[in-house]
Amino acid sequence: MSDKFVGALRQIALMGGMHDYIAISSRELGDLLGMSQQSASKRILELLDEGLIHRDLGARRQRIRLTDKGAELLRKEYSEYQKIFEMRDHVVIKGTVITGMGEGQYYVTQAGYQDQFEQKLSFRPYDGTLNVRVSPADITKLDSLRRGGGMVVKGFEKNGRTFGDVRAYKATIQNVDCAVVLPSRSHYNDVMEVVCKYHLRRTLGLRDGEPVEVRVSLT
């Protein structure tokens, strides 16, 4: 809806209209936006109507400046692009799907972990994990995940056996929500376990050896 307005607003801002009135005719604006003088004139009236610009309609040339609301709208747009290009709040880890040794499954199905998962990840993991062999180039990223951040899932004892603390990060694979689970104390290892509400292999149609990218959220 407001989509229509941002092109014109941006052009005005580029000419300095964020800080000052700038002189611009409807024909000029139309040319810059690839539309007719008439349409540009109409667009300007619409922007005025929406309270996105101030206008000072002189005898010869009109002068235009963005209102706070107009500047705000542009800033919002800008922040969308920042999210795309400057995401420092996540890491992408590449790897390939492998068949695990059932260890992950054994761990994840423990009620002592499950309850905490459900509470902290806001979903109860499917009974099983997706095992991803992390590509050599991204093992350093995995290491820094192990070292800190994320959420700590407390360990427990059961039947005389100790289950240690585990670190979990919210993550997505192909836009499907999941979580990466890493034992806090772990030797060098290039396998990453991913839990999900659904059966990931089936949901995404992943087969052994297929490459995957896991987007791990750091927040």
Partner DNA sequence: ATTACTAGTAGACGAGTAA
Partner DNA sequence: TTTACTCGTCTACTAGTAA
Piece of the chain touching DNA by CB under 7 A; list 58-66, 121-129, 147-155, 187-195 = 58-66
Residue 57 Cβ vs DNA, minimum distance, rounded to whole Å = 6
* Amino acid at residue number 53: I
20/163 Cα distance (integer angstroms): 64
Site string for DNA, 131-170 (x = CB under 7 A): ----------------------------------------
Taking CB under 7 A as the criterion, the residue among 26, 116, 129, 131 binding DNA is 26
206/213 Cα distance (integer angstroms): 12
Does 111 contact a second copy by CB under 8 A? Answer: no
Piece of the chain touching a second copy by CB under 8 A; list 1-9, 95-103, 108-116, 187-195 = 1-9
Residue 108 Cβ vs a second copy, minimum distance, rounded to whole Å = 23
Does 148 contact a second copy by CB under 8 A? Answer: no
Residue 109 Cβ vs a second copy, minimum distance, rounded to whole Å = 26
128/107 Cα distance (integer angstroms): 9
44/55 Cα distance (integer angstroms): 9
SS (H, E, C) the chain: CCHHHHHHHHHHHHHHHCCCCEECCHHHHHHHHCCCHHHHHHHHHHHHHCCCEEEEECCCCEEEEECHHHHHHHHHHHHHHHHHHCCCCEEEEEEEEECCCCHHHHHHCCHHHHHHHHHHHCCCCCCCCEEEEECHHHHHHHHHHHHCCCEEECCEEECCEEECCEEEEEEEECCEEEEEEEECCCCCCCEEEEECCCCHHHHHCCCCCCEEEEEEECC
Shorter beta-carbon distance to DNA: residue 44 or 204: 44
Residue 114 binds: one of a second copy, DNA, none (C-beta under 5 to 8 A by kind):
none
Taking CB under 7 A as the criterion, the residue among 2, 4, 75, 208 binding DNA is 4
Does 202 contact DNA by CB under 7 A? Answer: no
Residue 38 binds: one of DNA, a second copy, none (C-beta under 5 to 8 A by kind):
DNA
Q: Which residues bind a second copy (CB under 8 A)?
A: 1, 3, 7, 10, 13-16, 18-24, 34, 58, 60, 63, 74-75, 77-78, 80-81, 83-86, 92, 137, 140, 172, 174-176, 204-205, 213, 215
Q: Which residues bind DNA (CB under 7 A)?
A: 4, 25-27, 30, 34-39, 41-45, 57, 60-62
